[in-house]
Copies of this chain bind each other. A is one copy, B any other.
Amino acid sequence: MAQWHSGPVGAGAASDEPPTTARGSGRDTRQRRAILTALGQTERFRSAQEIHAAIRQSGEKIGLATVYRSLKMLSDADEVDVVRDEAGEQLYRRCAASRHHHHVVCVSCGTAVEVESLPVERWAARVGEAHGYSDITHSLEVFGTCARCR
């Protein structure tokens, strides 16, 4: 119940290796690989359930809880970005940038592009402090309809 926000949602991690490599995130299991592969196959933000369904359709057998647990680990490790759709559902996507950034997300298909803006970052910090707040963070996402969905 009403626990307050403690940090910005979303960040990212760079990746040179094939998306099927697990790296620092725990053991190298078949399921973990399947999830990383699935994440690497699209630039769309998808829900845990969609990702789970996609993996199953590819023939892999995997439990929903495993998908949730893995996505949690990956997001905690900043290896995937997370946004919430209007319904409050969490959506995941693998990001290229490792630095702080935001997204322009298609409201129709979830396809997103990464963007950054120093001016906005500064604006948030300045406004927060100007009102007497400290430890300023912010959440920001831009939504719209992408060219393909128009």
B136 contacts A142, C-beta separation under 8 Å? yes
A4 contacts B108, C-beta separation under 8 Å? yes
CB < 8 Å neighbour of A49 from B1, B85, B135: B1
A49 to B1, CA, bound (A): 8
> Can you tell how many copies of this chain the complex includes?
2
Interface of A is mostly: mixed
In the assembled complex, the CB of A143 is this many whole angstroms from the nearest CB of chain B, namely 5
CB < 8 Å neighbour of A85 from B4, B90, B124: B4
User: Interface residue count for A (Cβ, 8 Å)?
Assistant: 56
A105 contacts B5, C-beta separation under 8 Å? yes
CB < 8 Å neighbour of A2 from B2, B85, B138, B147: B85
In the assembled complex, the CB of A139 is this many whole angstroms from the nearest CB of chain B, namely 5
